[in-house]
Amino acid sequence: MGKSNRLLDALPGDVFARLQRQCETLALPRGHVLHKAGEVIRDLYFPIDCTISIIVTMRTGKTAETGVIGNREVAGINAFMGGRETTQTEYEIQIPGTAIRMRAAELKREFDQNMAVRSLLLKYTQAMLAQISQNTACNRLHSAEQRYVRWLLEVRDRIQSDALQLSQELAGDMLGVRRASVNRVSRSLETRELITHRRGLTDILDSAGLEAISCECYSVVKKEYDRLLGVH
């Protein structure tokens, strides 16, 4: 198993060598829930070419995505930050693919004993908090088009592919907007030859063009990740 998740890549070599023996690579289907609200987190998931949504579900059953986890991140940071359970959030596979699973106790041991590991994971946590905070502001203040474009770019970055297995129904659920709004925005982007969309698949044709019309949230979060974790 090679290093294929950027957060794992950033671990000291000797630490990765020890942890690698405790890891396994899994194929994860769309919709698979890794952790439900209130469950004890025993395993960590480092995406390779899948994405994981951090989802909040309200009492009405409506859902919204507060963050996305891809090949720069890990699902389950509660396990090494002092709390073992999730609260109102769950982690669900958004784009199917592969991820590396590791027992949370193994990384927690390194976190407690190794200053370099602790520094890296604390910086990662800061970057993740920046993403969630910025997404919260974005969902409140920016247009449906800006939010949709930001979401496409964030997903693109985390699987390193312009071919996104994303339906408009999923986009509406994750952004907390009506599917009709997503359809309208998607058609507008297709007209401008920025994307193409067919059932269950969105292809990015012009990422620079999308970045030009995205709100500042995309670049703010990207710069914060690069500042804290380095440019890859």
Kindly list the domain boundaries of the chain, sorted by start residue.
Answer: 6-128, 143-214
Only one residue has tokens 């247009």, namely 143
* Cα–Cα–Cα angle for 24, 28, 31, rounded to 5 degrees: 150
Minimum mean pLDDT among 40-49, 59-68, 90-99, 138-147: which range?
Answer: 59-68
- pLDDT for residue 117: 93
> According to the model, what pLDDT value does residue 84 have?
60
Per residue in 198-217, pLDDT (tens digit) is 888 899 999 999 999 999 99
Tokens describing residue 105: 């106790």
Mean pLDDT for the chain overall: 87
Percent of the chain beyond pLDDT 70? 94
pLDDT in tens, 129-166: 898 888 888 888 899 899 999 999 999 999 989 999 88
> How many beta carbons lie within 10 A of that of residue 228, not counting itself?
16
Once rounded to an integer, what is the mean pLDDT over residues 98-122?
Answer: 92
> Looking at residue 200, what is its pLDDT?
81
Whether 86 contacts 92, CB under 8 Å: no
Q: What single DSSP character describes residue 86?
A: -
pLDDT for 182: 84
Q: Say how far apart CA 60 and CA 219 lie, in whole Å.
A: 33
> Which residue carries 């890891």 as its tokens?
23
pLDDT band of residue 119 (cuts 50, 70, 90) is: very high
Show the tokens assigned to 77: 């940071």
Considering Cα of 225, then 231, then 106, then 104, what sign does the dihedral take? positive
pLDDT value of position 216:
92
- At the fourth CATH level, the homologous superfamily of domain 6-128 is Jelly Rolls (2.60.120.10)
> What pLDDT score does 136 carry?
83
What's the pLDDT at 2?
42
- For the segment(s) 143-214, the CATH number from 1.10.10.60, 3.30.300.30, 1.25.40.10, 1.10.10.10 is 1.10.10.10
HEC profile of 17-84: HHHHCCEEEEEECCCCEEECCCCECCEEEEECCCEEEEEEECCCCCEEEEEEECCCCCECHHHHCCCC
Give the model's confidence band at 3: pLDDT under 50 very low, under 70 low, under 90 confident, else very high.
very low
The answer to whether 97 and 163 have CB atoms below 8 angstroms apart is no
Question: Which range has the top average pLDDT, 1-5, 64-68, 167-171, 226-230?
Answer: 226-230
Of all residues in the chain, the percent with pLDDT exceeding 90 is: 48
